[in-house]
Amino acid sequence: MSDLFLELGRNPRARKLIQTLGLPLPMPQALRRAKEPWPERPLQDTDIVVGATAGAPLLTTLARTLVLAGANPFVAEPTNIDAFTGIGEAYGRPPQALDPKSSELKPRALVFDASGIRTPADLKALHGFFSPQIRRLARCGRVVVLGRPPEEGADAGAAACQAALEGFVRSVGREVGRKGATANVVYVQKGAEARLEPVLRWLLSERSAFVSGQPLTVTNEVADAPNTPTIRVLDGKVVLVTGAARGIGKATAKLLANEGAHVICLDRPNDGSLCSEVARSIGGSVLLVDISAEDAAQTIVEHIQAQHHGNLDVVVHNAGITRDKTLARMKPEKWDQVLDINLEAVLKVNQALLDAGVLGEHGRVICLSSIAGIAGNMGQTNYAASKAGIIGFVHQQAQALAARGITVNAIAPGFIETRLTAAIPVVIREAGRRLSNLGQGGLPQDIGEAITFLASPGSVGVTGQVLRVCGGGYIGA
């Protein structure tokens, strides 16, 4: 199902005509999305403006990240240039002092290290950097603010000011969304600075096109993996994707395979033909199982032990269903069916993989939650309960498995263009598309890109979190 207003927006003449006539029609900016596997330099030849408070502790890591990713750094404060000089010259990316009067620069991103902010007066630095720069931001650009977790604040004021960064980027995301740009904040735990680079590379790339207004926290909670590749990040890894026959599961399987993974495509026997087609197209394998069956978890374990020597590196719990009715009209069997597949099956399968030692050290567990699990939704008490349950599962398991080097995270999609949303009545569907910073629905690819990031070794600093891939949706937390 195509988005008429998005298609009109792709036509410069139509866009200009509608703007000239002053018609109250939404004209979302078509987003730039990645078309190839992860490159060594995702920011190649892009101009990025950098700002920071005095003595900002993350500046050195930021400089290394941008230069190695191929960016051209423009530094707003002359006193911060030294952090970029050594590595910039070594890699042929010497920093440039930002000319505040230049009208030609259209930066791909604005990045500000706010980790040194301690008082309300310090917050003025945000305005000082962004106010004159925000208009320069290119279409489909990125705004990223770096900070420290508020709970690490030395006092109440420091904690409050770091928490203020989240409200700031959520609001910036509303302001820049009309040009297809996004804004996010990354909190970096003290001692976890070395884990920031892969997170920044992903957030600043075209792979985060539908992630906006979100906080991510980088920690040292999980035991480190032996290496962090930047290309073919899943080479040699074995990945299980449930619900892989169509939609988000299908898109995810393809993206994971692009990064070198062998993907086990799992779906119910009734979708065997579709699932086999997906597996063949990516060089993966097929496992047909009804995950709500009593013996499903054991069947999955035995298959992996027999076919892959008991080796599984990533599990993506994507399979899910909806059976919508208001609570007064909902039959008990519809409640049970949704909770059995969306929640209980996840718990059983995951525990079986762990008990059998199939999912080993430095593994990745990624679950599909939903905005409905955060905000609730009319007629979806069963679905919302199951997806909120997933969030609780992720929080508990992240703590329990950190010592084994296993990360556990959830993704909460917003309005994503799938066969399910295509069936929504047109008025509700149009409203759902527009209720985000970006004024449009996301694609299954957007969810798959986030899953691929969380499946990669470089995501080791991210665990126990719920990443909303919703375009900065107005609904939910």
Residue 229 lies in a domain: no
| Confidence (pLDDT) at 54 | 84
- Encoded tokens for 277: 């087609």
Question: Distances in Å between the alpha carbon of 357 and those of 39, 55, 153, 184, 476?
Answer: 33, 46, 39, 36, 37
**Residue 299 pLDDT greater than 70, yes or no:** yes
305 and 435 belong to one structural domain: yes
Q: What is the DSSP string of 289-324?
A: --TTSTTHHHHHHHHHHHHHTT-EEEEEE-------
Domain holding 265: CATH number?
3.40.50.720
269 and 182 belong to one structural domain: no
Let me know: does 116 contact 54? Beta carbons within 8 Å.
yes
Let me know: does 223 contact 402? Beta carbons within 8 Å.
yes
242 and 132 belong to one structural domain: no
Q: By C-alpha distance, which of 337, 428, 347 is closest to 390? A: 347
* pLDDT, tens digit (0-9, with 9 covering 90-100), for 239-266: 999 999 999 999 999 999 999 999 999 9
271 and 190 belong to one structural domain: no
pLDDT band of 19, cuts 50, 70, 90: low
Residue 115 lies in a domain: yes
CA distance 309 to 330: 44
181 and 302 belong to one structural domain: no
275 and 149 belong to one structural domain: no
202 and 298 belong to one structural domain: no
Sign of CA dihedral 51, 52, 57, 58: negative
Match 């579709």 to its residue by tokens. Answer: 274
Let me know: does 61 contact 193? Beta carbons within 8 Å.
yes
| Confidence (pLDDT) at 416 | 92
Mean pLDDT of 72-94: 94
Residue 228 lies in a domain: no
* pLDDT, tens digit (0-9, with 9 covering 90-100), for 455-469: 999 999 999 999 999
**Residue 191 pLDDT greater than 80, yes or no:** yes
| Confidence (pLDDT) at 475 | 79
370 and 400 belong to one structural domain: yes
* Residue 164 CB partners (closer than 8 Å, separation 6+): 123
**Residue 62 pLDDT greater than 80, yes or no:** yes
Pairwise pLDDT comparison (178 vs 23), residue with the higher score: 178
pLDDT band of 8, cuts 50, 70, 90: low
What is the number of structural domains in the chain? 2
Average of per-residue pLDDT values in the chain: 93
91 annotated active-site: no
| Confidence (pLDDT) at 77 | 92
Look up residue 386 and give its DSSP letter. Answer: H
251 and 169 belong to one structural domain: no
Residue 225 lies in a domain: no
244 and 187 belong to one structural domain: no
| Enclosing domain of residue 260 | 238-469
| Confidence (pLDDT) at 7 | 65
* 3-state class (DSSP) for residue 330: coil
Match 């063949």 to its residue by tokens. Answer: 280
- Encoded tokens for 435: 């209720």
Q: By C-alpha distance, which of 268, 253, 388, 231 is closest to 314? A: 253
Q: What is the pTM of this model?
A: 0.94
291 and 327 belong to one structural domain: yes
**Residue 477 pLDDT greater than 90, yes or no:** no
CA distance 123 to 165: 9
* Residue in 91, 187, 383, 474 annotated catalytic: 383
248 and 358 belong to one structural domain: yes
